[in-house]
Amino acid sequence: MSYGNRLDVYQDEVVQLARSSPFLRHAITTVALMYQRLTTIPIKSAVTGTEAYHWDRALVGFNRTLSQDPRPDDKAALLSTSMLLWLLVFCHLDASIPEESWPLSPGMDSGPIWLKISRGKDEVWRQMPSPPGDRISAALTPVDHNNPLMMPSAQPLPIHHVPTAFLRLFDLDTERCLSGAQSRYCSVAVDVAWALFNDQPVLPTVLRFVTFLSTMSAEFKSLLIVKDPRALLLLASWFAKIRRLGVWWMTPRTALEGEAICRYLERGYGDNPDMQEMIDFLRAQ
């Protein structure tokens, strides 16, 4: 989830802060219990009673503090907890088969919860002033204000590694990618192409995926909610890359929801040979 200074802050200062912040302590406990459940053989898919209790206490305490005119000194605990709550939502699955998952499930037409709250931490950060010397809030600055990654998309994309079907779907080999309707997908498509079709180290790939989720534009989020096929294909492409990297809290959703997206696209757009070729490619990953 983090590295470098952020990881140091989580391991040291956030854990120390939890001693005086009950809702943060409950959130950390829930993550630890979920990790134990999903990495111990045999894996248990259902949330335990203890897990549910700590998750509820974290959420109740977080919402109560946020609604009661929080003080600047509360910001670090609120920011840390909001990140952990989002991680829990992304990791936890209510569905057990693709047919019950978004975008196939008719009960999820407004989009998955993880997508709706993906920038919640950023709102907490923006709306509350940081007290002097608050290293936690400084370390948890939204990525679009302080991006620690070298963005490979700024370099020319080596398109000889990219399937022709992908290039055609997003016009990556033409200038149309940068203008008109295709421009809505261009930056995400280039990032996906770098991650999926080029040999990239695991850590930068995972961090770029988290950056994609946490900095997703409102326009692209809207495209996903209305089940735009090209936007869905880009999300499924990210999921296909991430699901085989073994990150415990990412694997369940990227595997299940990724297959659900592929089935949705196959049923609705299977007559598009480029789309079908990409679906077959993603499933083979």
State the DSSP code for 249.
T
Is the pLDDT at 93 greater than 80? The verdict is yes
Read off the tokens for 103: 């975008």
Question: Residues 276, 278, 279, 285: is their CA dihedral positive or negative?
Answer: positive
Of residues 228 and 46, which shows the higher confidence score? Answer: 228
Read off the tokens for 173: 């080999």
Pairwise CA distance, residues 159 & 169, whole Å? 13
Pairwise CA distance, residues 38 & 29, whole Å? 14
What backbone torsions phi and psi does residue 186 show, to the nearest 5 degrees?
A: -55, -55
Q: What whole-number percentage of the chain has pLDDT above 90?
A: 49
Q: Could you state, in order of their start, the residue ranges of all structural domains in the chain?
A: 4-139, 152-284
Pairwise CA distance, residues 163 & 155, whole Å? 19
Q: Of 79-93, 150-164, 228-242, where does mean pLDDT reach its minimum?
A: 150-164
Is the pLDDT at 28 greater than 60? The verdict is yes
Q: Are 128 and 71 in contact (CB under 8 A)?
A: no
Residue 182 confidence class, pLDDT cut points 50, 70, 90: low
Cα end-to-end distance, the chain, whole Å: 23
Q: Of 36-40, 74-78, 171-175, 193-197, where does mean pLDDT reach its minimum?
A: 171-175
pTM for this one? 0.89
